[in-house]
């Protein structure tokens, strides 16, 4: 394990990806920053985090020869790892909002951005970016955001939180590397936010449906009001809640 600690950086994911273009980083190379000036989320969104109050970190996991078609299992494994670690700190009602936001009830406390490194058409590894809201008290214009501190009223040690997250990451990557795909998918779907509950979605139009699970390729499976099971990728649908 190799840890790089920075005061400020544009993006820890970008830093690790840049390293990977030159020489593949060692397994579990970690980049931590007190402040990210251009933290990134899913689909190009920005991740807001106050300096020194949250965990902004990226981890490089070597996965030589991993089946590209199974890359959503990486997202499932990482989501489960973070959820499991947060449960150890008594975060209540931990859920995974598809594809990989971590919620407490309906409040977001962690965003995950996974960027895979592929060279010569071969899978090399993954850059796993984590933004966990730990001690931040105020979130401007983000009514669905919360933090571990706001949820429990405790000031948390960021290193202790990351130590638990890293332990969980290693646990779930061992499952991934031993091809326990069915177990990973089952555990992920058990924690899926709004699963089996009537919900409202926005695609080309707004519609009602019930989340039934995920396809191995990562698409969300929704039982729609006209009794059709449809699948959606990330760019096609938004869960309204």
- pLDDT tens sequence across 115-129: 999 988 899 999 999
Residue of 10, 239, 11, 196 lying closest to 103 (CA atoms): 239
Mean pLDDT, range 147-171, rounded to an integer: 97
| pLDDT over 90 at 111, yes or no | yes
CATH number of 198-240: 2.30.30.100
Share of the chain above pLDDT 90, in %: 88
Dist. CA 76–CA 5, nearest whole Å? 27
Dist. CA 132–CA 82, nearest whole Å? 9
| pLDDT over 60 at 227, yes or no | yes
For residue 213, the number of C-alpha atoms closer than 13 Å in the C-beta half-sphere is 11
CB 111 within 8 A of CB 11: no
Domain regions of the chain by residue span? 2-190, 198-240
| pLDDT over 70 at 60, yes or no | yes
| pLDDT over 90 at 164, yes or no | yes
The pLDDT value recorded for residue 84 is 97
| pLDDT over 80 at 43, yes or no | no
Question: Binning pLDDT at 50, 70 and 90, where does residue 32 land?
Answer: very high
Dist. CA 181–CA 46, nearest whole Å? 31
Mean pLDDT, range 87-111, rounded to an integer: 97
Residue-by-residue DSSP string for 74-98:
HHHHHHHHHHHHHHHTT-TTEEEET
Dist. CA 167–CA 171, nearest whole Å? 6
- Report the top-level CATH class of 2-190: alpha beta
Q: Which two tokens stand for residue 15?
A: 């830093």
For residue 204, whether the previous peptide bond is cis, meaning omega lies within 30 degrees of 0, is no
| pLDDT over 80 at 49, yes or no | no
Backbone torsions φ then ψ of 60, nearest 5 degrees: -100, 125
The pLDDT value recorded for residue 224 is 95
Dist. CA 127–CA 143, nearest whole Å? 29
Confirm whether pTM is higher than 0.85: yes
Instruction: Rounding to the nearest 10 degrees, give the CA dihedral for residues 101, 104, 110, 116.
Output: -30
User: Which uninterrupted H or E stretch holds 215?
Assistant: none
CB 114 within 8 A of CB 127: yes
Q: Label residues 39-56 b or e (16+ Cβ within 10 Å = b).
A: bbeeeeeebbbbeebbbb
């Amino acid at each position: 394990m190799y840890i790089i600690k920075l005061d400020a950086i544009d993006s820890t994911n970008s830093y690790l990806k840049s390293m990977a273009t030159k020489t593949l980083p060692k397994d579990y190379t970690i980049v931590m920053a007190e402040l990210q000036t251009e933290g990134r989320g899913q689909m190009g969104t920005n991740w807001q985090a106050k300096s020194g109050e949250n965990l902004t970190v990226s981890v490089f996991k070597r996965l030589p020869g991993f089946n590209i078609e199974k890359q959503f299992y990486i997202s499932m494994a990482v989501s489960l790892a973070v959820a499991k670690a947060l449960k150890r700190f008594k975060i209540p009602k931990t859920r995974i909002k598809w594809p990989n936001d971590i919620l407490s009830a309906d409040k977001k406390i962690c965003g995950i951005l996974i960027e895979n490194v592929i060279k010569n058409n071969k899978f090399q590894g993954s850059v796993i970016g984590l933004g966990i809201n730990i001690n931040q008290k105020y979130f401007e214009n983000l009514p669905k955001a919360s933090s571990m501190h706001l949820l429990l009223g405790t000031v948390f040690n960021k290193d202790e939180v990351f130590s638990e997250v890293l332990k969980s990451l290693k646990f779930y990557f061992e499952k991934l590397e031993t091809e326990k795909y069915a177990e990973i998918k089952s555990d992920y779907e058990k924690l899926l936010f709004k699963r089996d509950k009537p919900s409202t979605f926005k695609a080309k139009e707004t519609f009602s449906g019930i989340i039934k699970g995920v396809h191995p390729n990562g698409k969300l499976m929704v039982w729609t009001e006209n009794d059709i099971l449809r699948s959606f990728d990330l760019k096609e649908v938004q869960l309204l809640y």
